[in-house]
Structure 1
Amino acid sequence: MSTLHRLTATIESRKGGNPNESYVAKLFDRGPDYAARKLGEEAVETVVAALAGSDEELVGEAADVIFHLAVVLASRDLTLADALAELDRREGVSGIVEKASRTPE
């Protein structure tokens, strides 16, 4: 089982858990808006690490982003596999072309 599968399984297992015993359960308990804000905070910390931090700091923050993204997706009954499937769908398509297909004229 891959790291992403284990992460997804762990997050799913913590839904409805005791927020005093699990950080993931606490994120779910506080609602999707709270989890989304935490993802935003981690994204900003990742940018800061990319610009001025060490490689170790950047890797740590990147892991935090992936974790919090998985929680946000799970709060909407989605998974990292759904996001990876979308990346698979886009494979071989120019980023410029793909972006233009999503932008309303």
Structure 2
Amino acid sequence: MSAETLDELFMVIKDRKENPRKESYVCSLFDSGEDRILQKVGEEAVEFILASKSSKREDIIYECADLVFHIMVSLGYKGIELEEIYKELKKRRK
């Protein structure tokens, strides 16, 4: 697993935006709009925090993956590329 995995997932998210599929969870979020997407990001953030407090490694990993996924959906909705996030993180290393 690497940043490549995130890139591949983000490509799927962008594809769902450009080529909607009725059965797609991502498409259902896009159709619901920004408020619903941000609500999901908030819910997943809370679930990640609660999992982190529980100290169960598997729960933390699971909830982190959910949070990252929903953040990526939000970025895709706004037309922000992952590369822009990578560049920002790289700037902060200096």
Deviation at 1:81, TM superposition (A): 2.2
Larger Rg: 1
Answer whether contact 1:17 1:25 (CA < 8 A) is retained. Answer: yes
The residue number in structure 1 matching 2:80 is 78
Which residue identity does 1:82 align to in structure 2? E
Q: Which residue of 2 aligns with 1:17?
A: 20
Count of residues in correspondence between the two structures: 91
Return the alpha-carbon distance in structure 2 between the equivalents of residues 70 and 48 of structure 1. Answer: 21
Deviation digits for residues 22-55 of structure 1 (CA, Å, limit 9, x no counterpart): 0000010001111111011000000000001510
Give the superposed CA RMSD.
1.4
SS at match of 1:2: helix
CA distance in 1, matches of 2:47, 2:88: 25
8 Å contact from structure 1 (residues 70, 79) kept in 2? no
Per the alignment, residue 60 of structure 1 pairs with 62
After TM superposition, the score normalised by the length of structure 2 is 0.89
Q: Which moved more, 1:83-92 or 1:4-13?
A: 83-92
- 2:45 match: 43
Identity rate of aligned residues, in percent? Answer: 38
Q: For structure 2, which runs of at least 5 residues remain unmatched after alignment?
A: none
Query: Relative contact order, CA 8 A, sep 6+: which one is greater?
Result: 2
2:9 aligns with one of 7, 13, 35: 7
Q: TM-score, normalised by structure 1?
A: 0.81
